[in-house]
Amino acid sequence: MDSYDTPELTRRQDASSRLKDFFIGATPLQKRLESVRKQTSFIATPPRRKIPQGSQLQEDVDPQKFAFLLHKQWTLYSLTPLYKFSYTNFKEYSKLLNAFIAAEKQKGLAVEVGDDFNIKVIFSTLMGVKGTQRDPEAFLVQILSKSQLPSEHKEEKVLWTGWFCCVFGDSLLETVSEDFTCLPLFLANGAETNTAIIGTWFQKTFDCYFRPLAVNAFNLSWMAAMWTACKMDHYMATTELLWSVPCSPHSLDISYAIHPEDAKALWDSVHKTPGEVTQEEVDLFMDCLYSHFHRHFKIHLSATRLVRVSTSVASAHTDGKIKILCPKYLIGVLAYLTELAVFQIE
Amino acid sequence: MRTCAVMSSQKKINSWARRRTSQGSSSYQTRLSAWRVKEDLSDSKSISKRGQNNTVEDYEGADDQAEDALQIALRYFEKGPIKTSQSKEKHLKTVENVAWKNGLAPEGIDILLSVALSGKFGSAVNTRIFKCIIPVTLISEDSVVKAVSWLCAGKCSGSTKVLFYRWLVAMFDFIDHKEQINLLYGFFFASLQDDELCPYVCHLLYLLTKKENVKPFRVRKLLDLQAKMGMQPHLQALLSLYKFFVPTLISVSLPMRKKIYFKNSENLWKTALLALRSRNQGFPSEPLKLMLANVHPIKRNWNSHSIIPVLNSCNYSKESRKKRMNLSDYFSSNGSFPLEQLKSFPQLLQNIHCLELPSQMGAVLNSSLLLHYINCVRDESVLLRLYHWLSQTLQEECIWYKVNNYDHGKEFANFLDTILRAECFLQEGFYSCEAFLYKSLPLWDGICCRSQFLQLVSWIPFSSFSEVKPLLFDHLSRLFFTSSIFFKCSVLQCLKELLQNWLLWLSVDIHVKSVRNSPLETTLGGSMNSVSELIHYVGWLSTTAVRLESNHTFLLHFILDFYEKVCDIYINYNLPLVVVFPPGVFYPALLSLDSSILNQLCYIMDRYHKNLTAAKKNEFVHKTKSEFSFSSKTYQEFNQYLTAMVGCLWTSRPFQKGLSIDPEILGNASVAEYKKSLNLVHHPAFLSYTVSFLLQECPEERKVNMSSIRGKKWNWYLDYLFSEGLHGLKHFIRSSIHRSSVP
């Protein structure tokens, strides 16, 4: 820290304009503070949400295009708005990130001088992964290993994938100026060291901040309810909930698997408002599961901690891991995750 | 009920007064002063200077001792083993502690290297010695050369040799010169023969090799070794380096496969090296960080080794500009001034129009020059970047968000200190800190980083109190009421600073407004309202706290400190606001057993008097400004207090209005003659003064007659009180009492 030699002398000349802004609430900064205040003073989660509807992708987008995003485990992060990010500079970003990764990997190790690093970085947009027209386009970063073998084997191996998206992120979009690109949700698949290097590059280049996005038990039960509520043509997996009992030396896990049709039937019996899920319904749904379990095993699940929810739509773990299974509800799942990410940023 | 209460407090006063007169006031005084010193240290404005000096001195004191012990330990090792293993262990510990905390001076390293390689001690000791050969900043080349000569003496075991090479590789960057070491290239090269040493020697040679070291016979030797031992990665590395320097000498094709060539020799010293590097880069050296780097490798991975990013000018924008640039871009970017060159304030002024901003805005916290820039920049995106970074970092680092993360405490406290220094420098709070307080205050235990956290509260930007109250102050009052008296005092102090900051803001604003005629005019009433709500809130806290802590003197001091600010708002800050304190503060202070409390109360009453008079006068002059005229209630309240005070202290007719006590009860309590008992002579707070005044007159007297102080003597007594430093009383009497009425 430099020495501050004139602490008393500096005073804001424009205190007045600041104050004026405060009363009008004009600047983006003020809007942000306002929204934080609102969030903190009322119950954090709105009492009702929409049940994800099928095929919310724009019509011209082929859901098969995003098949590679499904059935993979993604680690979730929240991300503050990117400063001076531009969709037209992808080529340069690839080059710079490539160089950065090479430099990071070689730190402290001997490398062959003058040799190209054997990876390839690709930036590309994920056209259509968004909720409204105002949401910025999602984009994808992939790290491929360049094959050393002769060119017959063109197959390049994907080492790491990460994507940035914003689905129905209106509340965040309102509070930033046009220099920023809001993609509050970041999902990564691949080695943690790679995520760290790439994250660091983004932080340095676009002055943003990554934070791991954990999903608490409260939000997991919302997921359980919302995803059970989704209409499915055929179920691919059983509905399974996992509770953890903290006890030493090893924690005890309780797995609770339900036939998805039974779960849906239970949901239909507690569900009243068409198209929406309310807090009461979520609580009631979980309470029914608890009491059923208690009747059979005499264990109060409500006293333990919900750590994982798997349904045919998606599965989520409390430490911020998600796997999306159903292409139809991709956007719906992302919308809720975006909401959680935005909440963490604010 | 009321009579009862008064009676009991009267009794209490008596007993306290007795104790006080018998003991004198020294014990209270010292305790009070001790507390004040403590408070001063946590004061926001002095923390940067005083706080640091203190710790530095402490360190130095401790360092001196450690230094002596280190010298003894080094001498012990130099002499060689003596058959008492106890002292060996002790000395080893000493060396390790110093080395891991601050590193060793070049002389110390010289000695330890010789000891470890001379074979005086067993290899277990040698290993421990090597692990702690960590320089303060640099290692002298001579020590290394000397160490190599010990290798030739053949007194040390193979494992020690391995350790030496690993050490040399790890510390290579910290050796001051390498010319002489390079002269030993041939010796090192010959050591390749040793299978055990080969990988480490290869690594050393890799670091050491210059173009002139690459000779045909060495290439041949390396190829021979490779033929003998197979494709070893370390040999390949050295070969590829040779090939890079002199491609013509090596015709064999080396595989292009990427691989980690060398075993990581640094591992043993990894944390020490981190600390060493940050020390050499000028970051404050912190023994604790050594440990932290060990405990949280993942987090370190992400965000390097300090929370606040290093100052770098935009690395990306430079690159991109080179490509697509029209003429105007060219001119504007050509003149841009890189941050790395920014060293002085004049430079900042000259280049303020073309300054390249840091790639990560958080870096400004570490640079006072850039804080100047932030101070006057109009670009909202700069502030937004800082906002995002700061609010996320605060939440990420906040220790009470995470379970079992209390080792982080020191680091988090340092981070908060840095933020506070910046806020103090800017004389303005950051919005992100406010948002952070909203989220974290409900979870705060009131202990963790208390001083820093409360200072953050005092820098909350001015805003509508009623809006902020449910988010912050309701949580704060819960903590306030359930915590110790010291916590209560700290909270009051922080609220005083908050009030002061808000007042400064508003007072500057009001001046600007009269010139600019800004639209704020209509809302000045609103902002005054907000300030008065804050004051009423503190009044409420104080009233309850005084009762909870049964009129504790410390507490009253802090409460009155707050009102010292409040009473002068009209005159000092030129803001149209006078709020009088609540009865729950006034009466306990008036009946306090401590003369300094009463003195402070007198001072505050005098200032209220002056402020209200000035306000009245102003009102009289500008009849137009009706919006801010004070209600007659304020004047009434003040007059009531004034009457009570004059009645008690001066005219000996206390509580003429609104208080009636059954004379029988007073008789039972043997205070039937109560009227005089609160005047300047008999007031328990002044008793000790009265006695010493009378004793001054006739020191031999065993019994003093207090009621003898009247008429002329009363005036002398007053002069005596003033000479004892009761200036508040002096001002109060001068302004509020017409001296004709001496009782």
Res B376 pLDDT > 50: yes
Evaluate whether residue A329 is within a structural domain: no
Res A289 pLDDT > 90: yes
Evaluate whether residue A112 is within a structural domain: yes
In the predicted model, what is the mean pLDDT of residues B537-545? 95
Q: What is the pLDDT of residue B28?
A: 39
CB count within 10 Å of CB B668 equals: 11
Res B339 pLDDT > 60: yes
In the predicted model, what is the mean pLDDT of residues B10-18? 39
Are A153 and A226 found together in one domain?
no
Are A164 and A299 found together in one domain?
no
Chain A residues touching residue B425 (CB < 8 angstroms): 4, 7, 10
In the predicted model, what is the mean pLDDT of residues B379-398? 86
Are A155 and A198 found together in one domain?
yes
Higher pLDDT pick, A155 / B187: B187
Rg (CA), chain B: 37
Chain B residues touching residue A5 (CB < 8 angstroms): 368
Whether residue A165 contacts residue A129, with contact meaning beta carbons closer than 8 Å, is answered with yes
Spatial neighbors of A168 by CB under 8 A, at least 6 apart, are A131, A132, A135, A335, A338, A339
Higher pLDDT pick, B663 / A195: A195
Res B220 pLDDT > 50: yes
Are A73 and A203 found together in one domain?
yes
Res A241 pLDDT > 80: yes
**Among all residues of chain A, which has the CA nearest to that of B418?**
A1
Reported as a pLDDT band with limits 50, 70 and 90, residue B629 is low
**Quick check: helix, strand or coil at residue B549?**
coil
Say yes or no for a CB contact (<8 Å) between A204 and B257. no
Tell me the nearest-neighbour CA distance from B656 into chain A, angstroms. Answer: 47
Evaluate whether residue A277 is within a structural domain: yes
The residue length of chain B stands at 743
CA distances from B643 to A320, B393, B567, B616 (A): 67, 55, 18, 19
CB count within 10 Å of CB B73 equals: 24
Are A86 and A145 found together in one domain?
yes
Domain end residue (candidates: A184, A212, A240) = A212
Are A80 and A98 found together in one domain?
yes
In the predicted model, what is the mean pLDDT of residues A124-149? 85
- With vertex at residue A140, the alpha carbon angle to CA A92 and CA A202, rounded to the nearest 5 degrees, is 55
Measured torsion, CA atoms of residues B76, B78, B82, B85, in degrees rounded to the nearest 10: 60
Are A76 and A99 found together in one domain?
yes
Q: How far apart are CA A112 and CA B260, in angstroms?
A: 10
Would you call A88 an interface residue with chain B, using a CB distance cutoff of 8 Å? no
pLDDT in tens, A72-95: 999 999 999 999 899 999 999 998
What percentage of chain B reaches a pLDDT higher than 70?
76
- The residue range of the domain holding A228 is 215-318
Q: What is the pLDDT of residue A171?
A: 79
Evaluate whether residue A12 is within a structural domain: no
pLDDT in tens, A163-185: 999 998 887 877 788 889 999 99
Res B519 pLDDT > 80: no
Helices marked H in B398-484 — which ranges?
Answer: 409-426, 431-440, 450-458, 465-468, 474-482
Interface with B, mutate which of A43, A83, A115 (most B CBs under 10 A): A83
Whether residue B549 contacts residue B558, with contact meaning beta carbons closer than 8 Å, is answered with no
Say yes or no for a CB contact (<8 Å) between A4 and B368. yes
Evaluate whether residue A235 is within a structural domain: yes
Q: What is the pLDDT of residue A291?
A: 93
Chain B residues touching residue A89 (CB < 8 angstroms): 320
- Chain centre to alpha carbon of residue B541: 26
Ordered DSSP codes for A211-241: EE----HHHHHHHHHHHHHS--SS--S-EEE
Q: How far apart are CA B507 and CA B571, in angstroms?
A: 11
Size of interface A-B (CB pairs under 8 A): 179
Interface list for A 180-219 with B (CB within 8 A) = 180, 192-193, 196, 199-200, 203-205, 207-211
pLDDT in tens, A298-309: 989 888 899 999
Evaluate whether residue A333 is within a structural domain: no
**Quick check: helix, strand or coil at residue A126?**
strand
In the predicted model, what is the mean pLDDT of residues A236-251? 83
| Partner residue facing A16 (CB), from B260, B471, B513 | B513
Reported as a pLDDT band with limits 50, 70 and 90, residue B254 is low
pLDDT in tens, B549-558: 988 999 999 9
Q: What is the pLDDT of residue B513?
A: 55
**In the numeric block, which tokens belong to residue B378?**
């109009």
Q: What is the pLDDT of residue B283?
A: 46
Q: Kind of pairing, strands A73-79 and A48-50?
A: unpaired
Are A90 and A184 found together in one domain?
yes
Say yes or no for a CB contact (<8 Å) between B266 and A80. no
Domain end residue (candidates: A192, A212, A232) = A212
Of the candidates B237, B295, B244, which has an alpha carbon nearest to the alpha carbon of residue B263? B237
Res A162 pLDDT > 50: yes
CB count within 10 Å of CB B24 equals: 11
Are A128 and A203 found together in one domain?
yes
| Partner residue facing B438 (CB), from A18, A37, A192 | A37
Interface list for B 519-548 with A (CB within 8 A) = 519-520, 523, 526-527
Higher pLDDT pick, B376 / A120: A120
Spatial neighbors of B738 by CB under 8 A, at least 6 apart, are none
Domain end residue (candidates: A212, A236, A256) = A212
Q: What is the pLDDT of residue B589?
A: 92
Q: What is the pLDDT of residue B398?
A: 82
Res B625 pLDDT > 70: no
Res B497 pLDDT > 70: yes
Spatial neighbors of B70 by CB under 8 A, at least 6 apart, are B94, B95, B98, B108
Res A16 pLDDT > 60: no
Evaluate whether residue A44 is within a structural domain: no
Reported as a pLDDT band with limits 50, 70 and 90, residue B280 is low
CB count within 10 Å of CB B715 equals: 13
Are A271 and A283 found together in one domain?
yes
10 Å CB burial of residue A135 (0-12, 13-18, 19+) is buried
ipTM of the complex: 0.83
Are A69 and A208 found together in one domain?
yes
Whether residue B436 contacts residue B460, with contact meaning beta carbons closer than 8 Å, is answered with no
Least trusted range by pLDDT, from B7-16, B629-638, B645-654, B724-733:
B7-16
Evaluate whether residue A15 is within a structural domain: no
In the predicted model, what is the mean pLDDT of residues B61-76? 74
- Whole-prediction pTM: 0.67
Identify the top-confidence range among A11-20, A318-327, B258-267: A318-327
**In the numeric block, which tokens belong to residue B377?**
């920049």
State the total domains in chain A: 2
Say yes or no for a CB contact (<8 Å) between A204 and B309. yes
Would you call B315 an interface residue with chain A, using a CB distance cutoff of 8 Å? yes
Res B27 pLDDT > 70: no
Are A193 and A221 found together in one domain?
no
**In the numeric block, which tokens belong to residue A11?**
């005073």
In the predicted model, what is the mean pLDDT of residues B247-262? 66
For residue B699, is the peptide bond before it cis, meaning its omega torsion is within 30 degrees of 0? no
In the predicted model, what is the mean pLDDT of residues A111-116? 48
